[in-house]
């Protein structure tokens, strides 16, 4: 399975078995976390065999069951922190999918004070991702159409890879399935002829985190279809560093 396949296969899972992560799974996740922390200037951390964070009534109300492993997403406070947590956190989520693990992004239904102690005192805790051996594979949610999340001038012909990127972006997990983003294409290029794509958030809960996740999905989908592009804003694609 590659990351494009992972996008197709991965769905949110809230119920897990009691099977612990193997040493091999822990090692593989830790390696990916270390790489992403370095590339994204983050302080993400894998916590294993710790069931207290999801033992509250709020977690029970959120239908979380047997969560004892989770990824803590945190870093030095900065305007781009949430978006970087989304981008690189989803990179870990897709790596977990490759290992046959399930996952779920979690914004609030965990004991925040307890999890905050897992991070440095100077860091800001953004959210967590539940990880483990899922009781099921989850299921797909309803999605908006490509037209609803793109901005393309009338009569403009877009390349096939742009459509593939948008399709992958529509499969990105977003808070409350809000899909509050817009990806743009205007045909502009850099001086060397590399086309630009744009992306913006339309707001909503955890919208900056969502934007990072959507960026990664678009990049993976577009590049799998042979696309080469640059973002119009200052965001750098980190896919080449990962060999994708």
Could you report the per-residue pLDDT of 86-140, keeping only the tens digit for each?
A: 999 999 999 999 999 999 999 988 999 999 999 999 999 999 999 999 998 888 8
Q: What's the CATH code of the domain at 44?
A: 3.40.109.10
In this prediction, residue 242 carries a pLDDT of 59
- For residues 76 and 123, is the Cβ–Cβ distance under 8 A? yes
- Domains identified in the chain, total number: 2
Mark whether 13 and 121 lie in a shared domain: yes
Mark whether 151 and 195 lie in a shared domain: yes
- Looking at 132, 167, 194, which one is the last position of a domain? 132
Pairwise CA distance, residues 133 & 148, whole Å: 34
Residue 162 lies in a domain: yes
| pTM of full prediction above 0.85 | yes
Mark whether 203 and 83 lie in a shared domain: no
Pairwise CA distance, residues 145 & 117, whole Å: 41
Q: Is 228 left (phi over 0), alpha (psi -120 to 50) or beta?
A: beta
Residue 33 lies in a domain: yes
Using a 10 angstrom Cβ sphere, with 0-12 exposed, 13-18 middle and 19 or more buried, the burial of residue 67 is buried
| Cα dihedral sign, 61-63-68-70 | negative
Under the banding of pLDDT at 50, 70 and 90, the label for residue 61 is low
CA 97 vs CA 20, 75, 113, 137, 144: distances in Å: 16, 24, 28, 10, 24
For residue 87, the tally of other CB atoms under 10 A from its CB is 26
In this prediction, residue 204 carries a pLDDT of 94
Mark whether 157 and 180 lie in a shared domain: yes
Mark whether 109 and 12 lie in a shared domain: yes
Q: What's the CATH code of the domain at 189?
A: 3.40.109
Residue with tokens 């307890």: 114
- Looking at 74, 109, 132, which one is the last position of a domain? 132
Q: Which domain holds residue 216?
A: 146-233
**Per-residue pLDDT tens for 125-148?**
999 999 999 998 888 888 999 999
Q: Which of 34-38, 104-108, 240-244 has the lowest mean pLDDT?
A: 240-244
């Amino acid at each position: 399975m590659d990351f494009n396949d992972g996008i197709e296969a991965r769905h949110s899972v809230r119920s897990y078995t009691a099977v612990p992560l193997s040493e091999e799974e822990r090692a593989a996740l830790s390696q990916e976390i270390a790489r992403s922390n370095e590339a994204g200037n983050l302080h993400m951390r894998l916590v294993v065999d710790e069931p207290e964070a999801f033992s509250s009534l709020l977690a029970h109300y959120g239908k979380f069951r047997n969560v004892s492993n989770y990824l803590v997403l945190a870093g030095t406070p900065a305007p781009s922190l949430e978006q970087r947590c989304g981008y690189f956190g989803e990179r870990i989520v897709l790596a977990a999918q490759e290992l046959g693990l399930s996952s779920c992004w979690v914004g609030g239904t965990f004991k925040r004070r307890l999890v905050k102690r897992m991070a440095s005192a100077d860091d800001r805790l953004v959210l967590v991702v539940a990880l483990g051996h899922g009781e099921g594979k989850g299921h797909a949610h309803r999605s908006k159409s490509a037209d609803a999340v793109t901005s393309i001038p009338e009569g403009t012909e877009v390349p096939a890879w742009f459509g593939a990127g948008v399709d992958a972006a529509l499969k990105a997990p977003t808070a409350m399935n809000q899909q509050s983003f817009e990806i743009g294409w205007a045909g502009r290029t850099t001086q060397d002829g590399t086309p630009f794509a744009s992306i913006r958030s339309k707001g909503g809960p955890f919208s900056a985190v969502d934007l990072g996740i959507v960026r990664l999905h678009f990049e993976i989908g577009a590049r799998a279809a042979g696309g080469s592009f640059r973002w119009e804003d200052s965001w750098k694609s980190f896919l080449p560093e990962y060999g994708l």
